[in-house]
Chain A
């Protein structure tokens, strides 16, 4: 980086300082809600009611105890994990296959079909719950985890868009070379394209993980017993119009946000590399 070795001018120093101040302010505004949620989750209900933003005076694990020992949090965690893992794995596989199809085959109406596949990006989920509910009832799936998993498997638009663009950017020579060696589509797909696209698949997986994990509108109408709740729905059990269980709710929110945050922090490198890889392939 040539610019690193330049002697910093006073103007540049001020600019850099300004940038830091601004960046720090934004970062604080982001970290504050997270930190607040975490420390509120160890406060008693009464402490939160008396002063919502004060720091805890003592550590109370009662809220977590309510969730895990007294409540159904372990079951909800399991439900969320099962539904998210199955759906996201499915989305990744389905969209990788379709993206390969769009990137390597040429057929009539391909562009139109591709654009058709992107409609999903434009639909707010709450627009589909009434008809979706009716549709799922016809298959007698309401109340089953399959209703959710199948719905999420329809969320392929983003993956198809991301992965098609990636596959298109893979240099032709690689594929041609494999073909000359006698490899068919399946071989090329599984042995060359998928390994190459791992970072991009990582992006698709991480973002869909967030979306599926945090979705509450479909579980709200598709699930009909508390032992099949997913976590975002479980949180609603600690909200009330008529009373406040603030402490327990904060603990529930901490668990709900904790998992995707951990996934994000662990996969952060992979995730960002996935995004960077998109352009580096060019």
Chain B
């Protein structure tokens, strides 16, 4: 989040000359060592374990019955129609959710930055969904969207839109993914909104002043001055929100379990059910590794774009 810092318009990059040139390993290790130790021991090693499992046919029952099968799991992916659609759903999910989260959080930040009354209250409320367990959110949304028990259909009916839809929500294979994307956006935009707010605060007011002197309206001022100033923040918001959506699991798992009939299956849920309900830990791990690979590619592309921009300055 202090990507926050990098995200701010013009934070001074690291001082050009390092403070001390002399070799300082003995002094360095106490600082970096402990964190790296825990990180490698309890995150990287299990990760390597997962990559190893993805090369085996392990069924999850007995480690004596584990066989190395090379890349078989990966070649099998291409012939798995559910994997292909889960991959597609994941990519759609990331693309749409990333754009919506970025636009939504920017809009919210700009609105709150107008310093209208109650802004603080809204700001506090918007961050709340990130704090609440997905279990609660899932139960409420599932019920509220239920055509028979829910609130949404009666609400639409009350405002005269009862016939605008077929009354189905999570049941409708065409609507289920869009709904889940909206829930993901709804749940997470608050954090990105805070990132934007932190960047907005740092934009010197004189810039807007100049635009106003030129007779620009508030909206024109935002469009011509503010938004371009937020470019690097936008980069960070897109990276973090994209990776977030790539990893999306609880939202889908709790609300639809990937259904109906795989209509909302994403890579993380498909990998999970392969590993834990279908006795294919090896195959499930391969799906997780693919997910991870996509995250790397995504981060790499972002890093390229972001680096070149940073050097422009």
Contacts and interface: CB of A to CB of B under 8 A. Distances in A.
The reply to whether chain A is a binding partner of chain B is yes
A190 B60 CA distance: 47
Contact of B35 (A16, A23, A95, A204): A95
Contacts of A82: none
A12 B28 CA distance: 56
B218 interface: yes
B198 A278 contact: yes
B155 to A, nearest CB: 11
Interface stretch (A27-35, A62-70, A71-79): A27-35
Contacts, number: 288
A124 B249 contact: yes
B125 A282 contact: no
Given A27-B122, A163-B2, A175-B19, A107 B50 contact: no
B272 interface: yes
B168 interface: no
A14 interface: no
Judged by DSSP, the binding face of A is helix
B7 A12 contact: no
B5 A279 contact: yes
Interface string B16-49: 0011110111011011101110110111111111
Interface string B124-138: 111111111111110
B49 A97 contact: no
A156 B195 contact: no
B198 A154 contact: no
A99 B29 CA distance: 12
Contact of B275 (A105, A130, A272): A130
A198 B141 CA distance: 37
B151 interface: yes
Contacts of B35: 94-95, 97-98, 117, 156, 160
B12 A169 contact: yes
Nearest to B32: A101
A169 B143 contact: no
Nearest to A262: B131
Nearest to A20: B116
Contacts of B60: 130
B8 interface: yes
A275 interface: yes
B71 interface: no
A27 B126 contact: yes
B96 interface: no
Contact of B42 (A154, A161, A272): A154
B4 A165 contact: yes
Contacts of B137: 33
Interface stretch (B75-83, B170-178, B255-263, B289-297): B289-297
Judged by DSSP, the binding face of B is helix
A94 B132 contact: no
Given A124-B268, A282-B202, A257 B2 contact: no
B273 to A, nearest CB: 11
A26 B20 CA distance: 51
Nearest to B21: A106
B212 interface: yes
Nearest to B288: A127
A130 B202 CA distance: 45
A222 B31 CA distance: 30
Contact of B49 (A107, A113, A115, A134): A134
B43 A128 contact: yes
Contacts of B43: 119-120, 123, 128, 151, 154-155
Contacts of A162: 1-4
Interface in A83-101: 90, 94-95, 97-98, 100-101
A1 B218 CA distance: 13
B11 interface: yes
B102 to A, nearest CB: 16
Interface in A175-192: 175-176, 179, 185, 189
Interface string A148-177: 001101111110111111101101100110
A7 interface: no
A131 B218 contact: no
A117 B39 contact: yes
Nearest to B138: A33
A234 to B, nearest CB: 11
Contact of A122 (B32, B133, B149, B296): B296
B127 A278 contact: no
20 contacts: A34-B132, A34-B136, A94-B38, A100-B31, A105-B24, A105-B31, A122-B247, A126-B272, A127-B285, A135-B49, A151-B42, A162-B2, A162-B4, A168-B14, A253-B135, A261-B128, A264-B128, A264-B131, A278-B2, A279-B4
Interface of B: 1-15, 18-21, 23-25, 27-28, 30-32, 34-36, 38-39, 41-50, 52-53, 60, 63, 108, 111, 114-116, 121-137, 139-141, 143-144, 149, 151, 186, 194-195, 197-199, 201-202, 205, 209, 212, 218-219, 243, 246-247, 249, 268, 271-272, 275, 281, 285, 288-289, 291-292, 295-296, 299, 303
Given A115-B303, A128-B47, A189-B31, 10 more contacts: A31-B128, A34-B132, A107-B24, A124-B247, A127-B50, A154-B41, A207-B1, A265-B124, A279-B7, A282-B11
